[in-house]
Structure 1
Amino acid sequence: MSAVRIEAIHATPGYSGFFFDDQRAIKEGAVQDGFTYDGTPVTDGFDEIRQAGETLIVDVELADGSVHRGDCAAVQYSGAGGRDPLFRAAEYAPVVEGPVAEELVGREASEFLANADLLEDGEFDGDRLHTAIRYGVSQALLAAAAHDAGTTRTDVLADELGTEPATEPVPVFGQSGDDRYVNTEKMFVKGVPVLPHGLINSVEKIGEDGETLLEYVEWLTERSQELGPEGYEPRFHIDVYGMIGEIFGAPYDRDEVVDYFGALEDAAAPYPIQIEGPMDVGAREAQIEAMIELREGLADAGVGVDIVADEWCNTFEDVRAFVDRGAADVVQIKTPDLGGIHRSGQAVRYCEGTDTRAYLGGTCNETETSARACSHVALATGAAQVLAKPGMGFDEGYMIVENEMRRAVARRTREQRPTSADEVTADD
């Protein structure tokens, strides 16, 4: 079968699954007013502290007439923690239909890695492409390559990355948003393996001395036993957005801090618990040092709470730095921040053979298209867990990610690497 070439690339501004939030303004005390916030934004690019999330819908049209989609997306807290600036879809549409299309039109769809790396490494009008563009265009390129090969996106990625795909869905991590009780009860009923995220991003939510979070973890343990299916053994994963550091301060290996983590472990028992972003000290190297200090303090005290890297761990180079230094038990690979979707797969692979597990994350502010694409990255690389996304309603994101993995696994089992492109749809 002759290779199919890329015929055209189109870009359409649209909405993402959540909102852009000015994290710095929120941490500095912006007052919530219903669903929005009162106050003045402080991060460049923001007109409001909370504003509608945007996506740029990318269609890669092939010479055989098929069209394959990817969605450019950026994280909820854009412009924070060393990330690329706020993503405005209308501003970047001409970039995708102009310089990006000029580079890709005429190239063979089968050359996924070469095509994606062209965007990852190149400069366009003297600048590197925004991570959101690299992310979305690479999703469409991956779908096009799978169509051309007559196989799944999982198999294309596995071939390019040199992996053996998972034969079962990767454990899904559900996120509750601020509705951390009702949404978590939904997770328990559905037997979600990793949960609830919790969105603990203020002193009010964690408590002046951490007491509110402790009460929440105790509730998680009790309610999971009441509502979970028979044999249910969840892993608790809570994102505290640096708030433990805010209320306790450094040094992080002192008794007061270690004892608090011990109390969290006791509250979660008999289930494991991992804490994401325990502190945010403002720069990558300082964050790594603080995380190491905390991990060593916990290890010396025999406290079995796992620490998850998030803040200042954005790019592939950041992931590598945290893993090389042993700064985390789990590292979040925040897919939109890494650029091309293959870079997320490469980051998961970098964790292989280390003491750091790979959490294939992302953001509530993505779309169903990017979430499905990430499901194939998770399967291709065997990540430790994958985020349910987009949105903060839980059910929709869980359905999208879990069902996409189940469908891909079932199809691979049925077909055992199909050879006929006639059996493939644009969604595969």
Structure 2
Amino acid sequence: MKIIDVVCSSGRTGFYFDDQRAIKKGASHDGFTYTGEPVTEGFKAVRQAGESISVMLILEDGQVAYGDCAAVQYSGAGGRDPLFLASDFIPLIEKYIAPELIGLELTSFKGLAERFDRMTIDGKRLHTAIRYGVTQALLDGVSKAKKMTMAEVVKDEYNTGVTIGRIPIFTQSGDDRYNNSDKMIIKGADVIPHGLINNVAEKLGYHGELLVEYVSWLRNRVLSLRYSENYNPVLHIDVYGTIGIIFENNLEKMVDYFRVLEKAASPLTLRIEGPMDMEEREKQMLALKELTQRLQEESIKVEIVADEWCNTYEDVVYFADNNAGDMLQVKTPDLGGINNTIEALLYCREKGVGAYCGGTCNETNRSAEICTNIAMACGAAQVLAKPGMGVDEGFMIVNNEMNRVIALVNRRSK
């Protein structure tokens, strides 16, 4: 099955681009936007509309395979590629990448993905968002050529050895962390609520008291609203380094605080993502390694999740090799080609570290569907419900794609 043409279209994502540096420096909410001036290059406002590019491969039998180029909400921060705007990159795709795609035979995904993931223009690698979308389209193309699900293509080509089935879905609340938590509980989400704890004064508290109150409320809400005593979701909260800020990265104080959080969450399991941000990869790895080890030694049942500075496949390997966290977020757009997401998830599994197939609220329905196939094929520990922060839409997209894949795989096995 050959590619005979490539068509691009601009799109909106399920959320927004936010200037994380400006927010950390004190930009405050003004309705749904933020006050103040942006500080990260490329931003015209602290919050601006997210953008995507659909890369559509026209196949010789008339089918269309496609993937979506998208970048994370906090683009340009934490060592990531710069802001991704469709008007800047559609001409580049049409001029340089489309001619390389046209005429290709879609017999295997892995080799093609690696080729375009490593492609350079004037000695520079493609923006991670472009590598992300182009390789999605290639996986969809091979899936259509072979008449099987994308999950089956990944399982076969990477010899993952997993049985394709359901994996836990992690939902994210955005700032509406109370009402949206109710939605998660009603729908039986496996991992909740993300929480978006990215501001000390408004969300964490200068002594961490606001987060303790929220975790206690969340536990009580689960126990009062749950449809069955067997429903015990994992509480996974992203704090964006703010715990490190209030305790000045003092390990002893942080360990004591995690003991308080553990009690507040009990009997539910608690995960904390991004407890500190050391502003540099090695320092971040060492800090997470030490914190993870100390919590284990103290038998404090709070799991640590790495995110910031664990952006690329090489970063995931580095953090996994050093046990820098109980779970690593494979932040799919940051890794570029989805072949890197696959390799990273499998490496985490091999090392016994939690493999979290994540991403960002600032993606599209298409990238979410494709990531769901990948997570299932790789036996990930959890997959992010995306895009958006409204819970219902992201959960629907990921849950329904998961169920479709399972139904089709089961039909084929019979």
What's the TM-score once normalised by structure 1's chain length?
0.95
Match of 2:240 in 1: 241
Q: Tell me the SS of whatever aligns to 2:10.
A: strand
Letter in 2 for 1:250: N
Separation of aligned partners in 1, 2:294 and 2:25: 29
CA contact (8 A) 1:82 1:312 kept: yes
Match of 2:267 in 1: 270
Q: Tell me the SS of whatever aligns to 1:282.
A: coil
TM superposition shift of 1:251: 3.0
Tell me, yes or no, if structure 1 residue 283 matches structure 2 residue 283.
no
Separation of aligned partners in 2, 1:12 and 1:102: 17
TM superposition shift of 1:166: 3.6
Tell me, yes or no, if structure 1 residue 39 matches structure 2 residue 36.
yes
Tell me, yes or no, if structure 1 residue 163 matches structure 2 residue 164.
no
Separation of aligned partners in 1, 2:293 and 2:246: 20
Separation of aligned partners in 1, 2:113 and 2:140: 12
RMSD: 1.1
Q: Tell me the SS of whatever aligns to 1:391.
A: coil
Tell me, yes or no, if structure 1 residue 87 matches structure 2 residue 79.
no
C-alpha offsets along residues 179-212 of structure 1, whole Å, 9 cap, x if unaligned?
Answer: 0000000111111110100000001200110000
CA contact (8 A) 2:4 2:58 kept: yes
Separation of aligned partners in 2, 1:211 and 1:391: 28
C-alpha offsets along residues 115-167 of structure 1, whole Å, 9 cap, x if unaligned?
Answer: 11111112123210000001011111111101100111001111121113443
Separation of aligned partners in 2, 1:69 and 1:300: 48
Q: Tell me the SS of whatever aligns to 1:295.
A: helix
Separation of aligned partners in 1, 2:290 and 2:128: 31
Letter in 2 for 1:223: R
Tell me, yes or no, if structure 1 residue 116 matches structure 2 residue 113.
yes
C-alpha offsets along residues 81-125 of structure 1, whole Å, 9 cap, x if unaligned?
Answer: 000000011111012112111212111112211211111112123
TM superposition shift of 1:324: 0.6
Tell me, yes or no, if structure 1 residue 148 matches structure 2 residue 148.
no
Question: 237-246 or 31-40: which moved more?
Answer: 31-40
Question: 234-243 or 93-102: which moved more?
Answer: 93-102
Give ranges in structure 2 of 5+ residues lacking alignment: none
Letter in 1 for 2:396: M
C-alpha offsets along residues 49-68 of structure 1, whole Å, 9 cap, x if unaligned?
Answer: 00000000110111111111
1:180-329 alignment, distance < 5 Å: 180-203=177-200, 204-230=202-228, 231-252=230-251, 254=252, 256-329=253-326
Q: Tell me the SS of whatever aligns to 2:98.
A: helix
Count matched residues: 412
Separation of aligned partners in 2, 1:388 and 1:166: 21
CA contact (8 A) 1:22 1:50 kept: yes
CA contact (8 A) 2:249 2:276 kept: no
Match of 2:346 in 1: 349
Tell me, yes or no, if structure 1 residue 337 matches structure 2 residue 334.
yes
Separation of aligned partners in 2, 1:326 and 1:290: 11
Q: Tell me the SS of whatever aligns to 1:352.
A: helix
CA contact (8 A) 1:62 1:109 kept: no
TM superposition shift of 1:168: 2.2
TM superposition shift of 1:45: 0.7
CA contact (8 A) 1:359 1:386 kept: yes
Separation of aligned partners in 1, 2:352 and 2:209: 31
TM superposition shift of 1:246: 0.7
Letter in 2 for 1:25: A
Separation of aligned partners in 2, 1:416 and 1:299: 42
Separation of aligned partners in 1, 2:332 and 2:384: 10
Letter in 2 for 1:277: G
CA contact (8 A) 1:314 1:337 kept: yes
TM superposition shift of 1:294: 1.2
CA contact (8 A) 2:13 2:362 kept: yes
Identity, in percent, stands at 53
Q: Tell me the SS of whatever aligns to 1:77.
A: coil
CA contact (8 A) 1:154 1:165 kept: no
CA contact (8 A) 1:190 1:228 kept: no
Q: Tell me the SS of whatever aligns to 2:304.
A: strand
CA contact (8 A) 1:157 1:342 kept: no
Question: 352-361 or 197-206: which moved more?
Answer: 352-361
Separation of aligned partners in 2, 1:301 and 1:142: 45
Separation of aligned partners in 1, 2:100 and 2:315: 28
Letter in 2 for 1:393: G
Tell me, yes or no, if structure 1 residue 137 matches structure 2 residue 167.
no
Residue 28 of structure 1, aligned match among 18, 21, 25: 25
CA contact (8 A) 1:166 1:381 kept: no
Separation of aligned partners in 2, 1:233 and 1:338: 32
Question: 16-25 or 220-229: which moved more?
Answer: 220-229
Tell me, yes or no, if structure 1 residue 64 matches structure 2 residue 61.
yes
Q: Tell me the SS of whatever aligns to 1:132.
A: helix
Give ranges in structure 1 of 5+ residues lacking alignment: 418-428
Separation of aligned partners in 2, 1:196 and 1:81: 23
Letter in 1 for 2:332: T
What's the TM-score once normalised by structure 2's chain length?
0.98
Question: 346-355 or 198-207: which moved more?
Answer: 346-355
Separation of aligned partners in 1, 2:156 and 2:336: 20
CA contact (8 A) 1:9 1:96 kept: no
Letter in 2 for 1:264: L
